[in-house]
Amino acid sequence: MQIVNIVQLGIKELRSLLRDPMMLVLIIYAFSVAIYTGSKSMPENLNMATIAIVDEDRSPASSRIITAFNPPYFSLPRLISQPEMDRRMDNGIDTFALDIPPNFQRDLLARKSPALQLNIDATRVSQAFTGAGYIQSILTSEVSEFLRRYRSSAAPQVDLDLRARFNQELKQAWFGAINNLMSNITMLSIVLTGAALIREREHGTIEHLLVMPVTPSEIMLAKIWSMGLVVLAASTFALGVVIHGLLAVPIEGSWLLFLAGTALYLFATTSLGIFLATQAGTMPQFGLLLMLVLLPLQLLSGTMTPRESMPELIRDIMLAAPNTHFVMMAQSILFRGAGFDVVWKQFASLFVIGTILFAFSLRKFRGFLK
């Protein structure tokens, strides 16, 4: 191999990318707007959830419950009739509909434990499950105070002193921003290298490369370093400007250590992108194949769901995937401020997996050129 050929071919790939406006828009969007909007849209807690109440008792106890639902957790409750309850929920007007039955206060005073009906629009997933717990807590508090006839807060038997590491206010947007960055690194690194190879075939320039004094390994390495460099530069921008700057997310660990691990990870994912491109003849086929590979990688790597909650067999299988080790490394560095003495195992795993993927992809790439 000649380094000059690899560098020149890589520059050619960068020039081809600059002439592809759709890819440029995708890169800019994925590492700026997508990360910012994705983190901002993550619910911190229940916020202005719509609730309607059917008051069939019309008693001081039911009035007390109605006035307990206030912003910012709930919008001001709307009093409706029972026939309106299902219609409004079917039309998506209300997320919660609470029905207070007749004789509610009388049964409370008689210690009969009356039941209230709560209808939930579970299609609004982010609010449905959280809101049910909020409503249960509000009802329990208001009913107990009504029966005691005074408002007080009992001292807890055990005082729990919370000390949250990294994210003291437990802001989900902080985790969402970095998780979105890791997901976009995986997606764009595979897409860019795969699209670069398919673009060569569709434009007929792959035949020009075959008659040049270059080897398949030089062509493949050129695509890997050029597309990897683009993703690495975009990741640095997203981490510094969008995440640390606009979203004010603190970075606990070393930026250089994270970027070094990202570069090692890109070596593996860009090789995977070339392999997928050799199996697909056109961009639509590459897109379908990408869906089959990318979704399991993203869902089972630990980005969205903790690995501890997965079956043991799935956890063992996903150790062969590079993004599993990348997620563990990135979270350790960015969230917990880990040094190389902590994440060296992930670095070693990424190197081994990347080498295997490169060798396997190179073999398929040679067959692709014949």
Using alpha carbons only, how large is the chain's radius of gyration in Å? 28
Shared domain check, 335 and 271: yes
Q: Are 232 and 266 in contact (CB under 8 A)?
A: yes
The answer to whether residue 69 sits within a structural domain is: yes
Within the chain, residue ranges assigned H as helices are: 3-18, 21-30, 33-40, 60-67, 82-90, 104-109, 125-148, 172-203, 206-210, 216-237, 255-279, 283-300, 312-317, 322-336, 340-369
What is the model's pLDDT at position 28?
A: 93
- Which CATH number fits the domain that encloses residue 83? 3.40.1710.10
Shared domain check, 224 and 94: no
The answer to whether residue 165 sits within a structural domain is: no
Interatomic CA distance for residues 230 and 238, integer angstroms: 12
Domain interval for residue 104: 51-148
The answer to whether residue 202 sits within a structural domain is: yes
Would you call 9 exposed, middle or buried from its count of C-beta atoms within 10 A (0-12, 13-18, 19+)?
buried
What is the model's pLDDT at position 31?
A: 92
Interatomic CA distance for residues 86 and 290, integer angstroms: 42
Shared domain check, 311 and 206: yes
The answer to whether residue 338 sits within a structural domain is: yes
What is the model's pLDDT at position 358?
A: 92
**pLDDT in 10s for each residue of the chain, 370 residues:** 688 888 988 898 899 888 888 889 999 999 999 988 888 776 556 778 899 999 999 999 999 999 999 888 888 999 999 889 888 888 888 999 999 999 999 998 888 888 899 999 887 766 777 888 889 889 988 888 888 876 665 566 676 777 766 666 667 777 888 888 999 999 999 999 988 888 877 777 776 776 777 888 888 898 899 999 999 999 999 999 999 899 888 888 899 999 999 999 999 999 999 999 888 878 888 888 888 888 888 888 887 777 877 888 888 898 899 999 999 999 889 888 888 999 999 999 999 999 999 999 888 888 776 6
The answer to whether residue 158 sits within a structural domain is: no
What is the model's pLDDT at position 130?
A: 80
The answer to whether residue 30 sits within a structural domain is: yes
Shared domain check, 339 and 215: yes
Handedness of CA 330, 336, 340, 341 (dihedral sign): negative
Shared domain check, 181 and 329: yes
**pTM of the shown model:** 0.75
Shared domain check, 288 and 193: yes
Shared domain check, 64 and 34: no
Shared domain check, 194 and 126: no
Q: How many domains does the chain have?
A: 2
Name the domain boundary from 133, 148, 163.
Answer: 148
Shared domain check, 347 and 297: yes
Q: Are 98 and 51 in contact (CB under 8 A)?
A: yes
Shared domain check, 226 and 78: no
Structure tokens at 315: 């956890």
The answer to whether residue 325 sits within a structural domain is: yes
Element (H, E) at 55: strand 51-55
Dihedral, CA of residue 149, residue 150, residue 151 and residue 155, to nearest 10: -100
Shared domain check, 189 and 97: no
The answer to whether residue 265 sits within a structural domain is: yes
